[in-house]
């Protein structure tokens, strides 16, 4: 068994991220100590490896959760893809290193940009997504958006952004108030109507992502002002009974 700290050092995944994966049911520890500390066995580490593969392929966490919990999930296929992906990355990095060493020893006259060509990686990622990407949510979104124009997509995102702008005007309110909770319901209904069925479990997972401090947080805070993303998450937690 390994502690969460040991797993973090071994894999490079932060403790906060491992805790988040536990909260959303993506990666549960093998067990907890009496003091509540997380412990991970080899099976959990294997599952983490699979999660990291699909993250490299830029799958959303909600899709990764569905994929690796499928009854027909092929672990061998996933491992083979990880090896191939790493080989492609190795080749890409080696090409960049060779170019840098050439420039260091012979100057900058070599106008060769082929080392920056990442098309192999992009093509591999695209094909892998085609193989794994048919989750229920993905299929539903694909069906709903199949006839959208660029204008339709732009209008949809603009309407979605307005919901977070409205949240920004509520930041001084109690997140448990009827008005704020109604706003959470608007977000859930909007996602269900325009993207995919947004259950409370999915909504809570999205809310955790909103407040994770990454790109989601930055974008939402741009829409509603600093602190909006964290406020939205607090409201979603209450809405979902967490």
Where do the domains of the chain lie?
Answer: 2-53, 75-132, 145-239
- Give domain 145-239's CATH architecture: Orthogonal Bundle (1.10)
Q: Per-residue pLDDT averaged across 172-187, rounded?
A: 95
In this predicted model, which residue has the larger pLDDT, 179 or 88? 179
Q: Is the pLDDT of residue 31 over 60?
A: yes
- Asked if the domains 2-53 and 145-239 are classified in one and the same CATH topology, the answer is no
Give the confidence band of 34 by pLDDT, cuts at 50, 70, 90: confident
CATH pick for 2-53 out of 1.10.1660.10, 3.40.50.300, 1.10.3720.10, 1.10.760.10: 1.10.1660.10
Q: Phi/psi of residue 134, each to 5°? A: -85, 55
Give the confidence band of 55 by pLDDT, cuts at 50, 70, 90: confident
Instruction: Give tens-digit pLDDT for 192-227.
Output: 998 888 888 888 888 887 887 767 788 888 889 999
What is the CA angle 97-101-105, rounded to 5? 175
Task: Please report, rounded to a whole number, the percentage of residues in the chain having pLDDT higher than 70.
Answer: 83
CB atoms within 10 A of CB 154: 11
In this predicted model, which residue has the larger pLDDT, 126 or 36? 36
Q: Are 28 and 11 in contact (CB under 8 A)?
A: no
Give the confidence band of 124 by pLDDT, cuts at 50, 70, 90: low
Per the prediction, the chain carries an average pLDDT of 82
The label of the residue with tokens 């536990």 reads 22
pTM exceeds 0.85: no
CA distance 236 to 200: 9
Question: What is the model's pLDDT at position 197?
Answer: 86
Q: Per-residue pLDDT averaged across 25-38, rounded?
A: 90
């Amino acid at each position: 068994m390994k502690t969460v700290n040991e797993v973090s050092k071994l894999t490079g995944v932060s403790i906060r991220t491992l805790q988040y994966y536990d909260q959303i049911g993506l990666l549960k520890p093998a067990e907890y100590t009496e003091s509540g500390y997380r412990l991970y066995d080899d099976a959990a580490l294997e599952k983490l490896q699979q999660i990291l593969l699909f993250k490299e392929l830029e799958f959303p966490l909600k899709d990764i959760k569905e994929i690796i919990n499928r009854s027909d999930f092929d672990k061998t296929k996933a491992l083979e893809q990880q090896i191939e992906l790493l080989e492609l990355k190795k080749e890409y990095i080696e090409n960049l290193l060779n170019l840098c060493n050439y420039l260091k020893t012979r100057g900058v006259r070599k106008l060769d940009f082929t080392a920056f060509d990442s098309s192999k990686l992009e093509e591999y990622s695209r094909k892998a997504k085609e193989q794994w990407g048919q989750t229920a949510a993905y299929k539903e979104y694909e069906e709903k958006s199949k006839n959208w124009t660029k204008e339709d997509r732009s209008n949809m995102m603009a309407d979605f952004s307005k919901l977070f702008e409205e949240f920004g005007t509520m930041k001084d309110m109690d997140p448990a108030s009827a008005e704020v909770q109604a706003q959470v319901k608007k977000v859930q209904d909007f996602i269900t109507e325009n993207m995919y069925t947004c259950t409370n479990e999915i909504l809570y997972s999205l809310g955790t992502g909103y407040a994770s401090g990454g790109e989601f947080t930055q974008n939402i805070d741009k829409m509603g002002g600093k602190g909006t993303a964290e406020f939205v998450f607090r409201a979603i937690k209450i809405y979902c009974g967490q």
